[in-house]
Amino acid sequence: MTAKTHTVEKIGGTSMSRSHELLRTVLIGDRKGSALYNRVFVVSAYGGMTDALLEHKKSDEPGVYALFASAESGWQWGDALSSVASKMVAKNAEVFSDPAPREQADKFIRERIEGVRSCLIDLSRLCSFGHFQLEAHLLTVREMLSALGEAQSAFNTALLLKQNGVNARFVDLTGWRQDGELPLDEHIARQFAGIDFASEMPIVTGYAQCAEQLMKTYDRGYSEVTLSRVAVVTGACEAIIHKEFHLSSADPRLVGADKVQVIGETNYDVADQLSNMGMEAIHPRAAKSLRQAGIPLRVTNAFEPDHPGTVIMSDLEPKTPGAEIVTGLKGVFALEFYDQDMVGVKGYDTKILEALTRHKVWIISKTSNANTITHYLKGSMKAIKRVETDLAEAFPTASMTLRKLAMVSAIGRNLRGVNILPRAIAALAEAGIEPIGLTDMVRKVDLQVLVEEDEFDKAVVALHKGLVEERAERKARADIRRVA
Ligand SMILES: Nc1ncnc2c1ncn2[C@@H]1O[C@H](COP(=O)(O)OP(=O)(O)O)[C@@H](O)[C@H]1O
Ligand SMILES: N[C@@H](CC(=O)OP(=O)(O)O)C(=O)O
């Protein structure tokens, strides 16, 4: 490993799908000679591939893994794997117009897919015997399948760069046909030993096989964890996430590209809140590694390489208080647990949390009063129903209600002293929205609003207008007065 002058940069799936544009922007652009190097790229699978391999991230529509794991689907997973293979071959044809590299790319991915297929057939047969439990191997299956997505995109990108005169090197962290598993940091250190960052451009798989089991610990969005550990282990000076858009004050697709502002800078506290809302600004555990190692993170628009993007650092205090981002989630389950026997008794919370942990349900936030504890959750209906069943058994006198809602959150480094609550209520009222619930945290970094799912878009637009756009207008007016 060489001097600490390199950056480690991740390209997300949505952006990876636009390979040729990436060559003209972040991967090569107008860089020549040594300017190309001292950059390590960690790549995600092409958009939609992991969804097809596992399950759709947002809709939960089953992919190969979900079909393999469900007893009722029989051998359907085999057809699903064949359709992923066709999708991957179609992608190769899109990336490589020349037949020679295209054949190389097809051969590479076909071999991996068929390797995984025969492994799954054997496992399935073995488990039909009765002595071996499929359950015990499902996580490994999930890991094997997801690795295919990143193996393809990293292999192809290295090949494409080589064709374009860059000394790129495919760094395969997927553990394909390797014996044994190492802890993640050790695995990375070994794979990077001997790579000269000054003259080689490593193209690294966003999936990494390791003793900790990436999917078990971090699940979807794991490539940001790989990014952060590669940055820490190799001693990068900066970690960069290239996205399809600038990190903006709201989703440009929803509010309008002309209305949102690029976030110039923010801190890891805000980044945590964003990932909690599923915004994937950065995986929460990835942020932690970078924060602890003192490595700044930059989020940029992959297709606007000259724009500095957003810098995220630990103690970056805002110049002026106020909301920086309005974001949110649809499909949030509000699980209300009510028991009059709860008054003055401790231990209810612990039991509920145990059930939520057992069934791997993500907690976004919670509220409680004398006899009610409400958790706002993200997860499959099936998992949440299991939580309900467990709790009904443990607390026969309790009653529970489950409701599907949307949560919209206004987030900022410092929301103190800016009348965030009355402004938010006024903005929602003006749009004709009556919030179902509202939580204004004492710490003043976020304000959470619960609305009906079909009011989500309207609520984001209204809160962005009332809290971000109007704040910008007030600031502009104040600046004019100061100059005058
Ligand atoms: N505040 C926001 N700023 C930028 N993009 C956002 C924001 N909120 C939601 N998005 C959406 O995130 C999507 C891209 O997500 P991204 O994380 O870049 O995907 P990937 O990691 O797969 O490349 C875009 O389609 C955009 O509409
Ligand atoms: N491709 C994986 C890993 C990942 O991090 O993807 P993305 O960078 O596109 O969120 C997933 O979809 O979970």
Spell out the domain ranges in the chain.
7-244, 325-483
What distance in angstroms lies between residue 207's CA and the mean position of ligand 2's atoms?
9
Residue located nearest, by CA, to atom 13 of ligand 2 = 220
Residue located nearest, by CA, to atom 18 of ligand 1 = 243
Of 314, 266, 322, the residue nearest 292 (C-alpha):
314
Mutate to test the pocket of ligand 2, among 10, 222, 285 (most ligand atoms within 8 A of CB): 222
Q: Which atom of ligand 1 is nearest to the CA of 253?
A: 27
Residue located nearest, by CA, to atom 5 of ligand 1 = 251
> Would the CB of 50 count as within 6 Å of ligand 2?
yes
The answer to whether the beta carbons of residues 142 and 54 sit under 8 Å apart is: yes
What number is the ipTM of this complex? 0.92
pLDDT digit string (tens) for 71-92? 777 889 999 999 999 999 999 9
Tokens of 76: 């359907």
Q: E strands within 96-245?
A: 168-171, 201-205, 238-243
pLDDT digit string (tens) for 186-214? 999 999 999 999 999 999 999 999 998 88
Q: Phi and psi (nearest 5°) for 239?
A: -110, 140
Amino acid at residue number 36: L
The answer to whether the beta carbons of residues 446 and 409 sit under 8 Å apart is: yes
For β-strands 238-243 and 297-301, DSSP reports them as parallel
The answer to whether the beta carbons of residues 46 and 153 sit under 8 Å apart is: yes
CATH number attached to the domain at 7-244: 3.40.1160.10
Of 206, 245, 242, the residue nearest 224 (C-alpha):
206
Amino acid at residue number 366: K
Taking the C-alpha atoms of residue 149 and residue 166, their distance in angstroms, rounded to an integer, is 23
CATH number attached to the domain at 325-483: 3.30.2130.10
Helix (H, G, I), strand (E, B) or coil at 370: coil
Mean pLDDT, rounded, of the chain: 92
Q: What is the pTM of this model?
A: 0.87
Q: Would you tell me how many other CB atoms lie within 10 Å of the CB of residue 472?
A: 13
Q: Which residues line ligand 1 (CB under 6 A)?
A: 12-15, 47, 243-245, 247-248, 250-253, 279-280, 325, 327
CA–CA–CA angle 472, 476, 480 (5° rounding): 170
Blockwise average pLDDT, block size 10, the chain, 484 residues: 77 95 97 97 98 90 94 87 98 97 98 97 86 84 96 98 97 92 96 96 97 84 94 96 93 94 91 82 80 92 94 81 94 96 91 95 93 93 94 95 96 93 97 94 92 97 96 82 80
What is the separation, in whole angstroms, between the first and last Cα of the chain?
A: 56
What distance in angstroms lies between residue 36's CA and the mean position of ligand 2's atoms?
25
Taking the C-alpha atoms of residue 461 and residue 24, their distance in angstroms, rounded to an integer, is 34
Amino acid at residue number 363: I
User: Does this chain's domain 7-244 share its CATH topology with 325-483?
Assistant: no
* Ordered DSSP codes for 454-478: GGHHHHHHHHIIIIIIHHHHHHHHH
What distance in angstroms lies between residue 86's CA and the mean position of ligand 1's atoms?
27
